[in-house]
Structure 1
Amino acid sequence: MKQQGTGRGHEDDWWRRLYGDGGGAGGGAVGDTGASDAPDTLDDRVASALRALAATGRAAPAPGDTPERPDPATGKPPGRAASPPPPTFPTPPAPIPLQATGPGSRPAPPRRPVPSPRGAPADTPPSAPPPDGPEPGPLPAADPAALDELVPDTALDGSRYGSLTLRAASRRGDLARHRGDVRRDALLTVRFGSGRHALLLVAVATGPPAGEGAARAARDACAWIGGAVGRSCTRLAEDIRTDQRDALRSGLQRLTDRSYGTLRARAEERGLPPERYTAALRCLLLPADPECRTRVFFGVGPGGLLRLRDGAWQDLEPTVPDHLPRRAPADPTDPPPPAADRRADGTRAPVGPFLFRTAFARPGDMLLLCSAGLAEPLQQDPAFAARLADEWSAPGPPGLTDFLRAAQLRVEGHPKDRTAVAVWES
């Protein structure tokens, strides 16, 4: 009992040194065993303990730590073992560059920087623009009352009928993307009829660069020629099957002339001169009948018509405008020409040089119809033409995404909208 009382006395002495009058705010010497008149509350005791620890130079316990109880034999807190130093790990060696080790292997050439798009800072890092062209820039400004005037950045389509496979893509050019302008190229792919009597029409139109409503004019041109061909599809398909070239030429010129007359009438409604609301228009007629391999091209304005045969390009663009009279023969079913499309004598005004050509397709051929944005680099850049010929000479037609990727390969100095329609023959 005596030994136990002695230990308890040491412990009480330690607590009195912390909480007695000497360590608290109530007076009295340290070691005084008398009762303290300091308030005996939890907050008072915590404050007193903090002051005592500060006076002895010991750190206060962190919030949430459990106070260490003193050793009953010595009245002092137990010592702590020194913390071991943090473990150290060896620094890993730098990675070894991979090299090709097979026969004929060569070191990889240094990566060539991708040219920055027009308007981008000269110090743009090479990885900023993707290799196949810059990301679309600002969205074109929209009028809430005319949202049908908006045009998507890219259009993609395709189909297969009989012996032909069709791929079509239209993409906004780098310049229009940078400026936030709409795509002025329009694309229409449509089928009239069914089975062996079906007739496919592909129309490509490009509005003038400075024309107000140029994108709308291009879409109107495609829609109106599509409607005119659709209403005459049975007769046109029969003329193609029986190789009635003269009838085809005169009939298609009449339909084209009528469509341009409607464009001029629409320009008058909008208060624009006719040359401001117009479009270059190029079309292909493709019979779905596998026994008929005649392909018909017609249109007005710049662009390209090429054939890829045995890995080489052949230019099929008509070099001389068709010499039929500028006013097609009268058709009793034609409505009278609109006022904006009439000469003083009441006849229809000319629509410009009409282009017409037929081509016979062989298995393995690829026929390409394109807007000026693709025709110009094909005609002016031999390396680009060779690359496209290589891309599209592989066995079998490409998928839609592969076709789009090849059709939008960038060529320095050619930032226009680009539309391509390709027909693979099997």
Structure 2
Amino acid sequence: MSQQPEDDWWNRLYDESADESAPDPGPDSAPDDTLDARFGSAVLATAPPSGGAEPPPGPAAPDTARIGGIPPAEPLRVRAPWEPPLPPPRPRQPVRVVEPPAGPPTAEPPVTPTPVSPAPRAPHPGHIGDGPPTYAAEPTALPAACAGELGQLVADTALDGARYGSGTLRAVSMRGDSARYRGQPRRDSLLTARFGSGSGALVLVAVAGGVRAAEGAQRAAADACHWVGAAVAQSHARLAEDIRADRRGELRSGLQRLAERGFGRLRAAAEPGAPPGEYPAGLRCLLLPADPECRLRIVFGLGPGGLFRLRDGHWQDLEPRRPEPPHAEPEPVQPPHPEPGPAEPPPLPLPADPFRFRACVARPGDTLLLCSAGLAEPLREEPALAAELAGRWADPDGPPGLAAFLADTQLRVKGYADDRTAAAVWEG
């Protein structure tokens, strides 16, 4: 059998170069209704015309490869019957979209470091009054020293503090402006000591101020603190018991004998032949029991000094001054022939500076201050200083620290340049 008709049909169906003008097979020839015939018809209908003409240009497809880094989709391709089946598509890896910066990169502004200022220094001790004191506030010259008396040197300032019972103690002793300028040693002396332990302990604070005009005032003040400390140490148990029992009569008589006997020795050693009532140093002592249930405070002493109490924002002077001698009155004109009458007794000499004894019942909020004459005099005579210290020490937040107490007692007043020694107890 000849195969020519089938070959012509195949060539005419798949060969684009075949002659399309060949005679039609006629109506009697039924079309081949097979899958291959339908596929071929679809290919012929979609094939571009011969001659290689391209379809008219249209709008350019967007370049999706540049949009977010996503590749373009693959074109749809129809597999021919004779082609092997396509492999299954590979899973597409997730694409990380990197957003480009909105604009050109800009340099970050330089970071300017914040200047760190040094910590503020403590305020310089001020002064009270219209003008500054004559001398500078800080020490200038050291006292002269020699090889055999190095043990007698004292520091410019001594500072101490403690808390026992219901009281908080602050104590200081410092050279005055005059002694600092001239390089003289501190004449005042301070002793703080505790005897015993527990609630039966007894705290002693001794404040001694050397009198400027007295010879050996520095040694006299130090000796006064030492001998009173030794005497209290020997009898501290009995003293603490008497204070808790409020035996004020026994305390007064016993402490007066102790003070006068000790000061007699000091006076004889410092100035032989000195008249009674003159002391080379003033002494104020405080006995503070450690028992929190006992609020009795005993203060005693001799010579110049002071004892004050700050209560409800006001100072109370607990040691009024000795009255000044009265001024001499002019003698009246006597008649030529006076009538006889009883003779007037001669005026009595002024009593010596008496022994000081005070038993103070402490109240919460009170401040008890005992001090040498270097602070007692300006506190009595300068209301501005008294008001300033009252404002500082009546703080409801509590007593000042050691540094603050030192700054407070350094408030100077023109005309008062002696050593200052003070001990204060804040009652809680």
| TM bin (shorter chain) | 0.5 to 0.7
2:307 and 2:319 in contact (8 A); partners too: yes
Any gaps of 5 or more consecutive residues in structure 1? 1-111, 120-128, 322-349
1:259 CA displacement: 1.2
**How many residues are aligned here?**
271
Q: Which has the higher contact order (CA 8 A, sep 6+)?
A: 2
Partner secondary structure for residue 200 of structure 1: strand
Whichever residue aligns with residue 226 of structure 2, its letter is A
Any gaps of 5 or more consecutive residues in structure 2? 1-127, 324-350
Task: Provide closer, same or farther for how the CA distance between residues 320 and 372 of structure 1 changes in structure 2, counting only shifts above 3 A.
Answer: closer
1:285 and 1:296 in contact (8 A); partners too: yes
- Aligned partner of 2:262 in structure 1 is 259
- In the alignment, is residue 384 of structure 1 matched against residue 400 of structure 2? no
1:351 CA displacement: 8.5
Task: Provide closer, same or farther for how the CA distance between residues 149 and 273 of structure 1 changes in structure 2, counting only shifts above 3 A.
Answer: farther
1:117 CA displacement: 4.9
Partner secondary structure for residue 357 of structure 1: strand
- In the alignment, is residue 118 of structure 1 matched against residue 134 of structure 2? yes
Q: 1:200 and 1:238 mapped to 2: Cα distance?
A: 13
Whichever residue aligns with residue 295 of structure 2, its letter is R
Whichever residue aligns with residue 134 of structure 2, its letter is R
Q: 2:268 and 2:228 mapped to 1: Cα distance?
A: 15
1:195 and 1:288 in contact (8 A); partners too: yes
- Aligned partner of 1:304 in structure 2 is 306
Task: Provide closer, same or farther for how the CA distance between residues 273 and 197 of structure 1 changes in structure 2, counting only shifts above 3 A.
Answer: same
Superposed counterparts of 1:156-195, under 5 Å: 156-195=159-198
Write out per-residue CA displacement over residues 65-105 of structure 1, whole angstroms, 9 at most, x where no aligned residue: xxxxxxxxxxxxxxxxxxxxxxxxxxxxxxxxxxxxxxxxx
Q: 2:129 and 2:299 mapped to 1: Cα distance?
A: 41
Q: 1:117 and 1:149 mapped to 2: Cα distance?
A: 29
TM-score normalised by length of structure 2: 0.60
Q: 1:405 and 1:264 mapped to 2: Cα distance?
A: 34
- Aligned partner of 2:370 in structure 1 is 369
RMSD: 2.4
Whichever residue aligns with residue 259 of structure 1, its letter is G
* Structure 1 stretches of at least 4 aligned residues deviating more than 6 Å after TM superposition: none
Q: 1:277 and 1:368 mapped to 2: Cα distance?
A: 22
Q: 1:368 and 1:186 mapped to 2: Cα distance?
A: 16
Aligned-residue identity in percent: 65
Q: 1:274 and 1:205 mapped to 2: Cα distance?
A: 19
- Aligned partner of 2:228 in structure 1 is 225
2:133 and 2:415 in contact (8 A); partners too: no
Q: 1:147 and 1:220 mapped to 2: Cα distance?
A: 16
- Aligned partner of 2:296 in structure 1 is 294
Whichever residue aligns with residue 183 of structure 2, its letter is G
State the structure with more CA Rg: 2
1:318 CA displacement: 5.5
Task: Provide closer, same or farther for how the CA distance between residues 144 and 351 of structure 1 changes in structure 2, counting only shifts above 3 A.
Answer: farther
Partner secondary structure for residue 169 of structure 1: strand
Write out per-residue CA displacement over residues 105-134 of structure 1, whole angstroms, 9 at most, x where no aligned residue: xxxxxxx99956536xxxxxxxxx5xxxx2
Partner secondary structure for residue 398 of structure 1: coil
1:143 CA displacement: 2.0
Partner secondary structure for residue 139 of structure 1: coil
Q: 1:208 and 1:320 mapped to 2: Cα distance?
A: 17
- Aligned partner of 1:244 in structure 2 is 247
Q: 1:311 and 1:254 mapped to 2: Cα distance?
A: 36
User: Which residue of 122, 125, 149 corresponds with 1:146?
Assistant: 149
Whichever residue aligns with residue 195 of structure 2, its letter is F
Partner secondary structure for residue 263 of structure 1: helix
1:154 and 1:172 in contact (8 A); partners too: yes
Partner secondary structure for residue 387 of structure 2: helix
